[in-house]
Structure 1
Amino acid sequence: MNKINIAEKFTLFTEEWTPKVIAESNGQLVKIAKGSGELVWHKHDHEDELFIVFKGQLTLQLRTEDIVLNAGEMYVVTKGIEHCPKAEPDTHFMMIEPSSTAHTGETVSEITVSSEQQERI
């Protein structure tokens, strides 16, 4: 395994809300993504989802509150909690989650990326 320059990895793509796998450790995928606007409301019944913001601002809308994350901040959305990520323009963030985690849980939309479609960069 070679070291990974995360900032460099963010330069390799322009798509939004399309996670890119950059590493795997003990069945956990390390993914990066860019976002602007909202994704979709969804939940993961069996997996927690950790978000770390590198650039911009990511709001994790929950049914009970909004969690606002700025660069350098992180939050874990506990399994079973419905959430809708919302990002300021050109927000860059990382997710660490089990490889079994579906992009938008059971919710399927035109923006959903299947496990087979997730690109490794």
Structure 2
Amino acid sequence: MPKAVNLADKLRLFSEHWSPKIVSQFNGHDVMVAKLEGPFDWHHHDDTDDFFLVLSGSLTIETEDGDVDLEPGELYVIPRGVRHRPVAHGEVHVLLMETAGTPNTGDKATAATKEWI
């Protein structure tokens, strides 16, 4: 029988930051939740856009063209090729969507391993 994915339940299953967890897939994309805290590394994705939806907390997406501030319920799509750096103000919970297999740093050598939960 089909079952809905409860994002709050999934977020309770882990505590590490900057380690996206896959909760579903659609049309070749990973749907992930992550806990963020503090700044991430500057990076870009050559082949895919980067989708952020803030579930809780406050997040700034820094780009070379200016910053985008996000609050719960707000989303931003970073176009492919744009250098950016997410900065979480306290602990932030997000929903992320990327083409399956996309490294979170834009570089497979430095990317977090994404696991299903």
Short-chain TM bin: over 0.9
**Which amino acid is the alignment partner of residue 100 of structure 2?**
S
Tell me the alpha carbon deviations over residues 80-109 of structure 1, each in whole angstroms, 9 at most, x when there is no partner: 000001001110001111113111003855
Question: Normalized against structure 1, the TM-score is what?
Answer: 0.91
8 Å contact kept, 1:31–1:95: yes
The number of residue pairs the alignment matches comes to: 116
Q: What 5-or-longer segments of structure 1 have no aligned partner?
A: none
Alpha-carbon distance in structure 2 between the residues aligned to 1:102 and 1:69: 22
Instruction: Give the stretch that moved more between structures: 93-102 or 64-73.
Output: 93-102
Alpha-carbon distance in structure 2 between the residues aligned to 1:107 and 1:7: 28
Q: Verify: 1:72 aligned to 2:68, yes or no.
A: no
Quote the RMSD (CA, aligned, Å).
Answer: 1.3
How far has the Cα of 1:12 moved from its partner?
0.6
Question: Normalized against structure 2, the TM-score is what?
Answer: 0.94
How far has the Cα of 1:6 moved from its partner?
0.7
Secondary structure of the corresponding residue to residue 58 of structure 1: strand
Extract structure 1 runs of 4+ deviating beyond 6 A: none
Q: What 5-or-longer segments of structure 2 have no aligned partner?
A: none
8 Å contact kept, 1:10–1:32: yes
**Which amino acid is the alignment partner of residue 12 of structure 1?**
L
